[in-house]
Amino acid sequence: MLRRHRKPGFTLVELLVVIAIIGILIALLLPAVQAAREAARRSQCTNNLKQIGLALHNYHDTTGKFPTLSGGTIGTDPWDNGNNGQLCGMIALLPYLEQGPLWDQISSGGTYGTMTYPPFGPAAWRTDFPPFREQTPALLCPSDSGSSTRNPSSDQAYNNYMFSVGDHMNNNAYDRPTRGPFAHQHYGSFAEIRDGTSNSIGLAERCIYSTTGAIRGDIAKNVGTTIASDPTVCRATAGSDGRYRSGIETHQEKVVGKRWADGRPAWNGITTVLPPNSASCLAGGDSWQWGIFSPSSYHPGGVNCVMMDGSVQFISETVDSGNLAAPQPGNRGGRSPYGVWGALGSMAGGEAVGLP
């Protein structure tokens, strides 16, 4: 009687079991891999802010002051032969961020093609001045993919790291000084930071615009001047799905993170009123106007901030924000009504508060 010899190999059942085991292992390992990658991206973001913090200190050591939120030159023609007083303070930090050649190009102006530009370039919103289109890698958070949409031949450089005007809202695009370390055409100094440099936010992250209506990266507009007397009006523009509510008008791609040379706070500023990853709101309909500009990031649970002592802290989106129905404080001093978060933005409020 002939014996049948079984050929070596997997049965269908065994093969399915192996595939199931591999699938389970992948499902278990994938979140760990993703978490490790995000940890690396967050670490790089932290290092970027540390560089900016060090640059601030070196700038102050050299000049005895901090750069302005917005300033620059004012020419006889507001668009062609001057910055219209809107040049972002980040440009002043370029020599201290190992970007000396770019600083030289911007500060000296020059002829590019058929156009001749004055020192420090034309109006800060212009895209035809080539140095404004030069991207500085240290100004981008690797967790934010919004920078991938930039066209280097036609778009200004992008930026994730924004100057703090503190818990100041009404006219924060032009008031000087504000309750934070930075303001329009105002050169602050360490002497003004009476609450302690380790308790005062200098800059924080904001997501670059990528999706219309997304709270991270877009701004509600025409919300009205009542946001300064009752910030909950701005908070109410947000839905529960990471987007602004239906019917809320937004500024779309024209604003956040896409004009690094433009120092107006809608483009390159943050407020410490609504907590991180909350709504941002313009009182009116244009980017030159004032408003609430909440920090935001794609790091889970909060944002990175560089304090005025140069340290970098991760601030939770659940940080205490006090009484958000209270009006903004009426002067540069005085306690913030917006809890720990507001106190970290006011540099001379007299609050005895530490980092959460």
The secondary structure of residue 349, as a DSSP letter, is S
Alpha-carbon Rg for the chain, nearest whole angstrom, is: 24
Q: Give me the pLDDT at residue 144, please.
A: 94
Q: Give me the pLDDT at residue 34, please.
A: 72
Q: Which stretch of DSSP H or E encloses residue 87?
A: strand 87-88
Positive or negative, the Cα torsion across 186, 331, 304, 241? Answer: negative
pTM of the model as a whole:
0.90
Scanning the structure block, which residue is given the tokens 């140069």?
310
Scanning the structure block, which residue is given the tokens 């070596």?
8
Cα 84 to chain centroid distance, Å, stands at 23
Give whole-number Cα distances, 27 to 21, 31, 41, in Å. 10, 7, 22
**Each residue's pLDDT tens digit in the chain (356 positions)?**
455 555 566 677 777 888 888 888 877 777 777 778 888 999 999 999 999 999 999 999 999 999 999 999 987 776 778 898 899 999 999 999 999 999 999 999 999 988 899 999 999 999 999 999 999 999 999 999 988 889 999 999 999 999 999 999 999 988 888 899 999 999 999 999 999 999 999 999 999 998 889 999 999 999 999 999 999 999 999 998 999 999 999 987 667 999 999 999 999 999 999 999 999 999 998 877 899 999 999 999 999 999 999 999 999 999 999 999 999 997 778 899 999 999 999 988 888 776 76
Scanning the structure block, which residue is given the tokens 């009484």?
323
Q: Token pair of 134, please? A: 């030069």
Q: Give me the pLDDT at residue 3, please.
A: 55
Q: Give me the pLDDT at residue 126, please.
A: 92
Partner residues linked to 313 by β-bridges: 305
C-beta separation of 49 from 304 below 8 A: yes
Q: Which stretch of DSSP H or E encloses residue 111?
A: strand 110-112
**Chain segment 48-63, per-residue pLDDT in tens:** 999 999 999 999 999 9
